Structure 1
Amino acid sequence: MDGHGIREEVLGKLSPPISRTNPRMMEVSSTRRKFESFHPAITFQGAQFLRPNRDPGTYLALDLMTPRLNAIHQHLWLAGLPNAARPLHRQKLLGRNISVTEDPDEHLVWFEAQIFIKPLSDFLLDYDYWNDNLCSDQELYKSACGLLLSYAWLVRHQSDLDIAKESGLLSKNMEWINWVEFLDGFLDNINLSTLSQVNQRYKYGELRLSRLNTIYRVIPPTYSIKNFVRGYKSGSTWYNAFFERHFKWMLAVFAVLSVFLSALQVGLATRMLQDNGPFQRVSYGFALASVIAVVGSIALVFFVWLGLFWYCLISTWSNDRAVNRGIRTTVSSL
């Protein structure tokens, strides 16, 4: 960062990490700023609606910051490596489908054959927007720098740029030469050895969703009934999808039990083992244990279903009361 940028940081305002000397990028940003807004007209924060163009500060925190991952930063080594994420062409070679997400906490999180990637917002390409809206808040600044850095990982080659444009991650008007010039200017202002200018989440690249779910369910800093049920990111809310994800291992166990019971049955049918006392005792014990295991598994599934049913019912009722109470409070204050 140059001397001017250091002086601005000392005075309490950071310097934009991108260059304003790329004429093509400035032209695109100026045109977009003139004819369309950078932000959507409405979005939601939980049950509360938000008007981004009227409250840009709250919207930017929602759009850029990663509070859920920061809360478990000390445990992220369980979910990923402190390495750069693989470029988009390599994601394709691994057989992963790119799923677009607008939640920064889901950016670069992968599950089986899917990886979630947040599109690069147009305002992060605009020098004036950085100067006016991001440079006065250090946390927003670091989060925005982290998101830009993740795109330096993802779009390293022209083939990556083509994939990004096809997937809706970058503007279709982006040219390779402009992208390289833009990243050169950005990377000049980032210490790639310490990553001190980026949010701590981006000291890790890709994160495994199944591990994040486990961390959120069992580690004390984020432990709660809600997190225990939903984990970090819940998938389908259908009961059959839930039991398929969490109890399909039972099918493998029952298959192994069936093979063992069949083998014991064949052994008892032979003359050599019919009168063998130890073998008969083992067969009796294993058969009894198998019956208990099956009954116990059925009981476990039933009680889990019952607990989920009541949890969802009570949560829905509580949320409905909270929303209605908020509406009554708002109406009474008018």
Structure 2
Amino acid sequence: MAVFTQIQELNSQLKVVEHPQAKIKTLQRSDDPNVTTLPGNHFIELNTSAVPDYLHKTLFTSDLDRIAPHLWIIATQSSSSITPIHEQLVLGRTIVVTEDVHLYLLWYHDKVFLKPLPPYLLCAAFWDVHLIPPGPSAYSPLPVEHIAFHRAAAGLIRSYAHLVHSDIDFHLAVQHGLLPASAPPDSFARFIARFSGLPDNAVAPRFRFGEMRLSRLNSWAPILLHRMEYVDLTRQYEEYLARYFPVLLFVFGVIAVLLGAMQVALAVEALPDVQQGAWRVFVGVCKWTAIGVMVSVAAVVLGMLGLFLKKSMNEIVFAVRTLLRGEDG
């Protein structure tokens, strides 16, 4: 069953052509019959096997779908955990437009990656031929893939119900090329409302979650994905190695201070007649200062470790509570 009808579509560039004898459906451009390419991508021909391949490449988030049962460790298990576009700018994030669906809704430091809403997904005819099972067509995928395509497309569109909350969000989305400028805000609001109420079991597993922190996803990649990183955005050796320099400097600094303090303590013990004469007070000060430095460094390290563990535990507790609330609901 279609999520929206031809009357409710935001893009009318496609129409369905019935072939009763062959019992198939094909697509045709309604804006210009001489054009035979997919709206939004002039390099993909309609009614060819390239369309399912293109959908698989641009809609499927296979890695995140596979580890979806464990994503609650990384992100809030709620599809509404998405910051509207205007708030992304308030947070100082730069909107990076990408066609890579694997990067969609990931944020990294001061960047957030957003994928434009493909024009063909706004056409009811395209859903009728490629996204509604079984819907036989000349070059349609298998029914199982139909369902997978449907869930991925529905999840992508549903996420925009949280990205675009107001007219400001809509205009910013158009300005960044995320939405077509031809669709008025009120029409988009009515269109997106049909997807906002979809349950989680109607969308791909990845879209049951909202935004995710890329750095945290990369940290868990060796455990969940069995590879070094989910996505590596560095292309230079110095950029890759630079991320480890602050940690290494901190470790070397702690070691240097500890070794220096221990050296002072040992040197004090080696002085002749340390318990006699005018040096007695000075030696005592040096010795206890060295001990104090070691205790202070240990306290700082333990304190930072405690803060890290506290923050990690708070996030885990919050994730577990969210998970349990979702199961109860």
TM-score by length of 2: 0.66
Query: Which structure: larger Rg?
Result: 2
What corresponds to 1:19 in structure 2?
5
Provide the secondary structure at the position in 2 that maps to 1:103: coil
Q: Which amino acid aligns with 1:86?
A: T
Q: How many residues align?
A: 253
Is the CA contact 2:38–2:120 (under 8 Å) kept in the aligned structure 1? Answer: no
Taking the aligned partners of 1:33 and 1:151, their CA distance within structure 2 comes to 29
1: CA distance, partners of 2:182 / 2:107: 28
1:107 aligns to what SS in structure 2?
A: coil
Cα distance in structure 1, aligned partners of 2:167 and 2:148: 31
Counterpart AA for 1:107: Y
| Bigger shift: residues 128-137 or 172-181 | 172-181
Corresponding letter in the other structure for 1:234: D
| Unaligned stretches of 5+ residues in structure 2 | 15-28, 134-145, 269-277, 295-329
Equivalent-residue separation in structure 1 for 2:205 and 2:11 (angstroms): 30
Deviation at 1:185, TM superposition (A): 3.5
After superposition, the CA RMSD in angstroms is 3.5
In the alignment, what sits opposite 2:187? 178
Question: What residue number does 1:94 align with?
Answer: 91
Superposed, 1:92-171 pairs within 5 Å as 92-136=89-133, 137-171=146-180
Residue 70 (structure 1) aligns with = 65
Q: CA deviation at 1:243?
A: 1.0
Q: Structure 1: which 5+ residue stretches go unaligned? A: 1-14, 44-49, 287-334
Deviation larger for 118-127 or 248-257: 248-257
Over residues 86-127 of structure 1, what are the superposed CA-to-partner deviations in whole Å (9 max), with x where a residue is unaligned? 211111111111111111121101111111111100011100
Shift of 1:78: 1.7
Q: Secondary structure of the residue that 2:243 maps to in structure 1?
A: helix
* Structure 1 segment 2-13 matched on structure 2, within 5 A: none
AA aligned opposite 2:188: W
Deviates more, 1:197-206 or 1:177-186: 177-186
- Aligned residue in 1 for 2:41: 40
Distance 1:40 1:122 in 2: 9
Question: Structure 2 matches for 1:219-298, cutoff 5 A?
Answer: 219=224, 222-223=225-226, 227-228=227-228, 231-257=229-255, 271=279, 275=283, 279=287
Deviation, structure 1 residue 212: 1.1
In structure 1, the residue corresponding to 2:244 is in which secondary structure?
A: helix
> Does structure 1 conserve the Cα–Cα contact (< 8 Å) formed by 2:13 and 2:39?
no
**% of aligned pairs identical?**
27
Secondary structure of residue in 2 paired with 1:105: coil
Q: Which has the higher strand share?
A: 2
The amino acid across from 2:5 in the alignment is S
> Structure 1-normalised TM-score?
0.66
> 1: distance between equivalents of 2:254 and 2:101?
43
- Alpha-carbon distance between aligned partners in 1 of 2:254 and 2:108, rounded to the nearest angstrom: 28
Give the Cα–Cα distance (whole angstroms) in 2 for the partners of residues 273 and 64 of structure 1: 75
Give the superposition deviation at 1:54.
4.9
- Secondary structure at the aligned position of 1:236 is classed as coil
Q: Quick one: which amino acid aligns to residue 38 of structure 2?
A: S
Query: Which amino acid letter does the alignment assign opposite residue 38 of structure 1?
Result: P
